[in-house]
Structure 1
Amino acid sequence: MKIGILLTGHPPEILQDQFEEYDAMFRVLLDGNGFTYETFAVVDGQFPKDELQADGWIISGSRHGAYEDHPWIPPLEDLIRTIQKSGRPLIGVCFGHQIIAQALGGKVEKFNGGWAVGRTDYDYEGQTVTLNAWHQDQVVALPDSARVLGSNTFCQNAMVAYGDTIWTVQAHPEYGDAFIQGLMDTRGKGVVPEALMKAAANRLPAPDDNPKIGQLMADFLKKERA
């Protein structure tokens, strides 16, 4: 099965010598499932010719806001709607979670409740899952077609499904602890409250559910559909 990864951002330049691009992080997360991949850096204007270039799709995270005025956002929203109509599976992570909601009629905004950083617990269909978060923007209004699967008191729309073909998550199952620490040391300074980053750093040694959610994502992509 071929997975198309739509890159909507890049790691901070200061971290690019230490960490690979976001598409490589997804390859590690989904390793062992027999996928092949093709990456399209839509943030740089590199789009697939159509939705048929992959059997399933993933939209990455980004430092950009879904509501911002960038030339690549409207064609990405068009592609999201086209993928949905095609019935091919689509997964959105962080910005991907947000832009899918926006493209399908929801609303994204900079959340006035502040940031979620590092280890964060979510209620996912009655189970607690722990993932690394890095966001202030949130989906604050869902499209009519959305179904909430996971949430917590800070982020009500943390994991969402649209029918049987789209699954999205606000957190970052592809981010490891070292990358979260790198973001706190670079992108977070002067932006994220110091007390929040200190608390997040203290919790980084705690277990996470990245492998569990990674396998859930893989199973969703591979699922047989009518």
Structure 2
Amino acid sequence: MKIGILQAGHSPDEMRDGVGDYGELFTKLLDGHGFEFKIFSVVDGEFPSGIDVADGWLITGSKFGAYEDHDWIPPLEDLIRDIRTADLPLVGVCFGHQIIAQALGGKVEKFSGGWSVGNTEYDFGTETLALNAWHQDQVTSLPTGAEVIASTDFCENAAFVIGEKILTIQPHPEFTSEFISGLIEHRGRGNVPDTQLDRASETLSSPNDNIKFAARMAETLKTGAK
């Protein structure tokens, strides 16, 4: 089964050789689930020739805002709508979560409450999962048909589904503690309050549920198996 990864951003230059780019983080996270991957760097204008080149799709995070004026965002939104119309599986993480919501009629804003960074517990109703957060933007209005499946006091719409084939989440199951440490050093200082970065650093050794949520992502993507 082929999964198309729509890479909407890049990991910091200082980290890329060691931990990989955003698309590669997901190929590592989903290794062992029987997928083949093709990465399209949409942030650089590299788009697939059509939605039929993959059986399922995944949109990565980005340092850019879904509401910002970039020439690659409108065609990405068109692609999202085409994927939904074709009833193909679609997973979005952080920026991916936000751009899917926006493309399908929801709203994304820079959250007035500030940032969420580091190991964070999310209420999934029947269970609590610890995942790494790194965001200020949030989905503040859901698209029609979306059902919230996870939240925190800080982030009300932390994950949602639309039917069985669309799954989105605000935190980063693909971010390891090592990756968060690199973000703190190379992207955090001067952008995120130092007090929050220091707290995030203190949680780097805390366990996370990346693998558990990866299984849920894989389950969604496999709804497109032929």
How far does residue 186 in structure 1 lie from its aligned partner after superposition? 1.1
Determine the structure 2 residue equivalent to 1:53. 53
- CA distance in structure 2 between the partners assigned to 1:201 and 1:8 by the alignment: 26
How far does residue 125 in structure 1 lie from its aligned partner after superposition?
3.0
What displacement does 1:224 show? 6.5
The residue number in structure 1 matching 2:6 is 6
Structure 2 residue 86 is the aligned partner of structure 1 residue 89: no
CA RMSD of aligned residues (A): 1.3
Q: Is the aligned partner of 1:122 residue 2:122?
A: yes
Note the 1:34-113 alignment, pairs <5 A: 34-113=34-113
Deviations 1:51-99 (A, max 9, x none): 1110000000000000000000000000000000111100000000000
Instruction: Give the aligned partner of residue 27 of structure 2.
Output: 27
AA aligned opposite 1:66: A
For residues 174-193 of structure 1, the aligned pairs below 5 Å read 174-193=174-193
Which residue of the partner structure matches residue 201 of structure 1?
Answer: 201
Q: TM-score, with normalisation over the residues of structure 1?
A: 0.97
SS in 2 for 1:122: strand
TM-aligned CA deviation for residue 222 of structure 1: 1.0
How many residues were matched structurally?
226
Q: Structure 2 unaligned runs (5+)?
A: none
Q: Percent identity?
A: 55
TM superposition shift of 1:107: 0.5
Q: Does 1:213 align with 2:189?
A: no
Identify which range, 214-223 or 50-59, moves more after superposition: 214-223
Q: Secondary structure, in 3 states, of the residue corresponding to 2:37? A: strand
**Residues 1:224 and 1:70: Cα distance change in structure 2 (over 3 Å):** closer
Gaps of 5+ in 1: none
SS at match of 1:134: strand
What per-residue deviation string (whole Å, max 9, x for no partner) do you get for residues 8-40 of structure 1?
000112222322111111111111111001110
Q: Secondary structure of 1:186's match? A: helix
TM-score norm. by structure 2 comes to 0.97
Three-state SS of the structure 2 residue aligned to 1:16 is helix
Larger mean CA deviation between 184-193 and 215-224 belongs to 215-224
User: Which deviates more, 64-73 or 7-16?
Assistant: 7-16
Provide the rounded CA distance (Å) in 1 between the counterparts of 2:132 and 2:163: 26
